[in-house]
Chain A
Amino acid sequence: MCGIVGLYLKNESLESQLGQLFVPMLIAMTERGPDSAGFAIYGDEVADDSVKLTLRHEDENYDWAGLAKRLETAFSTKVDWFQNSKVAVFKLIADADDAIAYLHENAHDVQVMSAGKSIEILKEVGLPENIVEMFKLSQMKGSHIIGHTRMATESAVTMAGSHPFSTGMDLCLVHNGSLSNHNRLRAELKREGIHFDTENDTEVAAGYMTYRLQQGDSLNQALEHALEELDGFYTFTIGTKNGFAVLRDPIACKPAVIAETDDYVAMASEYQALTTLPGIENAKVWEPEPATIYVWERGDK
């Protein structure tokens, strides 16, 4: 069992409250997932020639300033960065692949949690309420956010097994369920050049989405392919730079509920996670249909 939650703002004036609105949603899903929690928040977008990296180090006193200096020298650019608990967000003018390759080679004990223009992924082992406090989620701003509370089944209760998973630029995925064909699919995707950090089934789903998008699929097309290729039980919520999507497998054993108002679209494993949202009493609330793709993206409002 796990809990998943997502909040996508249609009304831009609410962006300064995104974290504040999301904190009770994530905490409400503690009963479904008390062992680790995480979220991917989208906002504070960097320019086209730049990349934003979310990095993590086990040591809270890690020398991020030193790493920033080394990157500045290597890429002849200024690095804009800030630290948040064990995580640091780095913004620099560079190609994402080059920057990640540099980090793998020169700072191999630094984990790259996410890379993109907008995404920041923050996750840790522990109770959701402790994790939102650790990262000061209530003060965060952005356009959309997806989160996960985990009760581990397919792999250990570790940082590596906690969600969200990101395997491509600005893409991330959270999952309630279990996939049964992840080993074969992982092997196939590795041959196609997709990199995996863990043995976790959800990372394979994220990797699959990255692969399809690399093949030129739209988000909708990638999810249609996912319905054919992924075997198992799942409710997914997927974040991209411009929006978010919800997909349930054709059997739809894993719960999901969506609420929509003029101001936002919210999804959760259970309605309990939506009760604190403004105007929820009059929101359109429904259960997403099995094998049906729901996408909300900026630009097609």
Chain B
Amino acid sequence: MKTIDLATQTVRDLNQALHDQAKECTETEWEVLNPKGQHNLAVGLDQKLKVDIKGHAGYYCGGMNKEADIVVHGSAGQGVAENMMSGSVRVKGNASSSAGATSIGGLLVIEGDAGSRCGISMKGSDIVVTGNVGHMSCFMGQAGTLVVCGDAGDALGDSLYEVHIYVKGEVKSLGADCIAKEMRDEHIEELSQLLKRAGVDEDPHAFKRYGSARQLYNFKVDNAAAY
């Protein structure tokens, strides 16, 4: 295992060392000490690495991640795992706003609460939040799955496309065009698999499913004539 101490080294040192592993992988296990809320930790990784960040992370931690498994042993600031392609990011504490924004693949697990706009414009990733999510979560979500074991804030799933949203607790309000949907066997199966992958012990039958009613402008074939 290789250790990078951010008390003595820079974020650029850290990211360069991790990026160098993309060409030739010489070390798969990495530990980051004294992150102290610095931004852009372990971004743009492109290798099967295991990265443990021992403390709180600032903005965009694990952004654009490909293949690596990143664990934040603390809380994370805005945009954790934004635009993640594959691999996983796990936050042991809370996450600020826009967690998993525009993420295309991979698994994001937040063991505490997530702030507003969790999963905004997500495009295929799986996001599991053990606690609550804030307002406007999954806004314009296009593909993937968002699982909330606690409560969801206002305007959940506003202008949603095809993300499957599962919430166990209360939903403060649904956004435009987002509706509660029937929980069929295939959804129980999908949710069970995802909870298992995330290592979260919850009964899938306790969740409700939400999705797009497909009534907004983009879903009307008649509007195609405008082009």
Query: What residues make up the interface of A, taking CB atoms closer than 8 Å to B?
Result: 252, 255, 257, 270-272, 274-275, 285-287, 289-290
Contacts and interface: CB of A to CB of B under 8 A. Distances in A.
| Interface SS majority for chain B | loop
A270 B134 CA distance: 18
A281 to B, nearest CB: 8
Contact of B58 (A252, A271, A285): A271
A257 B76 CA distance: 11
B106 interface: no
Contacts of A252: 97, 115-116, 134-135
A257 to B, nearest CB: 8
A271 B116 contact: no
18 contacts: A252-B97, A252-B135, A255-B96, A270-B37, A270-B58, A271-B36, A271-B37, A271-B75, A272-B36, A275-B36, A285-B56, A285-B94, A286-B113, A287-B94, A287-B96, A287-B97, A287-B115, A290-B116
B62 interface: no
B99 to A, nearest CB: 11
B173 interface: no
Interface in B94-133: 94, 96-97, 113, 115-116
Given A270-B37, A287-B97, 11 more contacts: A252-B115, A252-B135, A257-B96, A270-B59, A271-B36, A271-B56, A272-B37, A272-B58, A285-B75, A286-B113, A287-B115
B78 A274 contact: no
A275 B37 contact: yes
Contacts of A289: 134
B77 interface: yes
B38 interface: yes
Contacts of A287: 94, 96-97, 115
B166 to A, nearest CB: 23
A271 B77 contact: yes
Contacts of A275: 36-37
Contacts, number: 41
Nearest to A273: B37
B94 A286 contact: yes
Contact of A255 (B38, B78, B135): B78
Interface string B19-38: 00000000000000000111
Interface residues of B, number: 18
The 10 A-B pairs at the shortest CB distance, nearest first, are namely A271-B37, A272-B37, A275-B36, A287-B115, A287-B96, A271-B56, A252-B116, A275-B37, A285-B75, A272-B58
Contacts of A285: 56, 75, 93-94
Chain B CB within 10 A, most for which of A255, A272, A286, A287? A287
A252 B97 CA distance: 9
Contacts of B75: 271, 285
B94 A272 contact: no
Nearest to A286: B94
A252 B37 CA distance: 20
A255 B116 CA distance: 11
Contacts of A286: 94, 113
B94 A290 contact: no
A290 B37 contact: no
A290 B78 contact: no
Nearest to A253: B97
Contacts of B77: 255, 270-271
A37 B37 CA distance: 22
A54 to B, nearest CB: 32
Contacts of A272: 36-38, 58
Interface in B24-74: 36-38, 56, 58-59
